[in-house]
Structure 1
Amino acid sequence: MIYIERNAQNDIENIHFAPGPNLEEISLHDPKLKKYIETSTDSEELIQKVLNQLDLDMVRVIEDVIDIMIDKNLILFTDLPDPVQNKILFKKSIRNLSNNNSIIEDEELINF
């Protein structure tokens, strides 16, 4: 998710990738967010930060898709190359150390 700060004129002033005080969650499909990113003075850097964060989020989605495919016997875990198996197992073991195992926040909705 992306969270924004607004200025006194109610325009987007800054974006963040975690909730915090005085931050407002914004839909990824909000045209004002895209406009802010496009017109920002550090637009290229900001675009890269947003893409990097979305890439991290997509990795988790892909992991979940792999789990679903394995659960439905569409693929076997052993069908995956050894390095992929090792990375998945290691990430799961590390993730289990965290209290946050879900990729979706309880209040997060898909907004189109």
Structure 2
Amino acid sequence: KLHLSLQCCGEKNYISWVNTDYFKKEGIPKSCCNMTAGVNCTSAELKDLNTAASVVYQRGCFSLMTTTLEANLGIIAGISFGIAFFQLIGIFLAFCLSRYITNNQYEMV
């Protein structure tokens, strides 16, 4: 799904798959096929690097992922701080409840 949504293949590029066990059995993953180019990927093409170059995405996923994360860093940080804020409020309220229960136990005697 990552390959399809970011239109990428492999870590640096499609050649990153060459030294994997998956490539030895299946070739380059079918999810790397460049469907926007209007080509039909066959398993024979995905096993041959020379023909695969014309049917798979050329860009690597690592650089695209880091670029996407950097572009959305403000949103990610905002959500993270928002979650942390509610966690801290929960801890504070639990502490207040604990103090309230402890103080009331000693007054009952």
TM-score norm. by structure 1 comes to 0.28
Structure showing greater radius of gyration is 2
Higher strand content, 1 or 2: 1
More helix by share: 2
Structure with larger RCO (C-alpha < 8 A, sep 6+) = 2
TM-score, with length taken from structure 2: 0.29
